[in-house]
């Protein structure tokens, strides 16, 4: 296509004054290592949290209590949330089905979770020992090699159906 317009000479004299700087994006190797550590954290290795979670962490999620996830704002709060989740399903195991998909400072994985229900979930009528199997997607924003933001979208309806919540 031919451009028939005159050159744009309206750029500021000091073009560097409009430039933004950002931290370098993680390498593919670093992203894979971070996902491995993230998976280990969700599979019960809580020691990973301090190493991979940024001090200014933010969770974006539709929580079971109706919240938006903003209360989970540190590695300690994240471990507490993961621990509570694992309390009803102590053998909860996550595997990556797709990814990681890397786009700049974002890393995306589709995961599968499998577990045996151990009781304790409010409203669940499934017998203890019920096998559950559900999927989800995590989007992680990486800053300085650590996870600064986390968006999760999981098939909670499938999980709650398997646990016979509201049945």
> Which tokens go with 87?
């309390």
- 137 occurs within a structural domain: yes
- 80 occurs within a structural domain: yes
Per-residue pLDDT tens for 73-95?
999 999 999 999 999 999 999 99
Residue 52 belongs to what domain range? 26-162
- 43 occurs within a structural domain: yes
Tell me the whole-structure pTM to 2 decimals.
0.81
Give the CATH number, domain containing residue 34: 3.10.450.50
8 Å CB contact between 163 and 157: no
Per-residue pLDDT tens for 21-76?
455 677 888 889 999 999 999 999 999 999 999 999 999 998 887 788 889 999 99
The 3-state DSSP composition of the chain as helix, strand, coil percent (nearest 5) reads: 25, 30, 40
- 86 occurs within a structural domain: yes
State residue 65's pLDDT score. Answer: 79
8 Å CB contact between 167 and 130: no
Lowest mean pLDDT of 67-71, 129-133, 137-141, name the range: 67-71
Kindly report each contact of residues 90-94 with a partner whose C-beta sits within 8 Å and lies 24 or more positions away, as own/partner: 90/115, 90/116, 90/118, 91/115, 91/116, 92/42, 92/43, 92/44, 93/43, 94/39, 94/42, 94/43
Q: How many domains does the chain have?
A: 1
State residue 167's pLDDT score. Answer: 63
- 81 occurs within a structural domain: yes
- 2 occurs within a structural domain: no
- 1 occurs within a structural domain: no
- 167 occurs within a structural domain: no
């Amino acid at each position: 296509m031919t451009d028939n317009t005159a050159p744009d000479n309206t750029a500021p004299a000091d073009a560097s004054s409009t430039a933004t700087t950002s931290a370098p994006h993680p390498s593919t190797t670093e992203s894979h290592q971070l996902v491995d550590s993230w998976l280990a954290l969700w599979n019960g290795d809580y020691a990973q949290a301090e190493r991979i979670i940024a001090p200014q962490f933010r969770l974006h999620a539709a929580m079971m209590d109706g919240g938006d996830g903003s209360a989970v704002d540190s590695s300690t709060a994240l471990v507490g949330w993961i621990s509570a989740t694992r309390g009803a399903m102590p053998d909860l195991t996550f595997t990556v089905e797709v990814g990681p998909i890397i786009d700049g400072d974002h890393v995306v994985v589709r995961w599968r979770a499998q577990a045996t229900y151990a009781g304790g979930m409010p409203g669940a009528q499934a017998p203890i020992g019920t096998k559950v199997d559900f999927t989800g997607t995590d989007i992680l924003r990486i800053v300085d090699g650590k996870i600064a933001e986390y968006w999760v979208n999981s098939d909670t309806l499938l999980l709650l159906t398997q646990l016979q919540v509201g049945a």
